Structure 1
Amino acid sequence: MLQKPSSHLLRRGRYSESGRAYLVTAVVYQRTPVFTNVHLGRLLVAELKQVHDLGFVNSLAWVIMPDHFHWLFELQGATLPLVMKRVKSRSTLTINRARHTQGAFWQSGYHDRAARAEEDLIHIARYVIANPLRAGLVEHIGDYPLWDAAWL
């Protein structure tokens, strides 16, 4: 039996608050592991950096896994949907161009979680960047090329 897409459920109760930290996750369409190609991962990094440089977010930590990314940031001069729409649409264009492909690149929607004021952002950032270790992709995080954190 086919499951109906449920990405619309991710939008329930979504609220954007400037100055609040968010942890977001977006997944590549059909979970294709395109970011095993570091060059394609760097194209996504450029889009994350641009949103940071424009003052939409203060990027705290991110990791790009083979078929998805996790990104911890403080929302600044934009709404959460605007930030994600911009990153996903611009990265779709640049990555599709580099791959000589067209069409959907990301699964619709994204997962977000607002950090509570009492949460330790450094602890969340460490959790984010340890993803390649937990996935068994590397033995030392320094060996993984697609991550960064503001506290380094």
Structure 2
Amino acid sequence: MSNTPKAHRLRTGRHSQSGRIYHLSAVTHERQPIFNDLYVGRLLVSELRRAHEAGNATSIAWVVMPDHFHWLVELHNGDLPRLMQAAKSRSARAINQQRGRHETLWQKGYFDRALRREEDLKAIARYIIANPLRAGLVTRVGDYPLWDAMWI
């Protein structure tokens, strides 16, 4: 078995393409459940929206879980590493400032899956926003405050 860190393996063969749809996710450092705090979760949401408003990606659906997030996006300007680096670094700065700390917020790397156009995006978006249900955090999706989808 290789001693290569998992984050390094995540980058192997990674290719991003403008106009392509991706399912992205990132995990907090040591899986700290910092997004149990709604205000902290909203700071991350602001950064996901910033990427959308800047024209770098169209947010199709997202959910912020206590220790990670899922984001379904269509990539526009730039590439995945820049998009994720910006979202993670800006959210870390805002969250650390709000909490009065200077801590590592995110694990290195992220997961991505490129989707084919013929895949059912609504089904994938439903899967993403149903994460709180599967985790037992709520009994109805509408009761969970940190999610959105373009069709809702």
TM-score range, shorter chain: over 0.9
SS at 1:49 equivalent: helix
Answer yes or no: is 1:48 the counterpart of 2:48.
Answer: yes
Q: Any residues of structure 2 matched to 1:7-86 within 5 Å, and which?
A: 7-86=7-86
Determine the structure 2 residue equivalent to 1:125.
125
Aligned residues: 150
Residue 49 of structure 1 aligns with an amino acid whose one-letter code is R
Runs ≥4 in structure 1, deviation > 3 angstroms? none
Residue 151 of structure 2 aligns with an amino acid whose one-letter code is W
Unaligned runs of 5+ in 2: none
TM-score w.r.t. the length of structure 2 is 0.96
Task: For residues 33-63 of structure 1, give each alpha carbon's deviation from its aligned partner in whole angstroms, at most 9, with x where no partner exists.
Answer: 0000000000000000000000000000000
Displacement of 1:103 in angstroms is 2.8
In structure 2, C-alpha distance between the alignment counterparts of 1:102 and 1:93, rounded to whole Å: 8
In structure 1, C-alpha distance between the alignment counterparts of 2:128 and 2:51, rounded to whole Å: 19
Percent identical across equivalent pairs? 56
Unaligned runs of 5+ in 1: none
Residue 127 of structure 2 aligns with an amino acid whose one-letter code is Y
Residue 57 of structure 2 aligns with an amino acid whose one-letter code is V
SS at 2:101 equivalent: coil
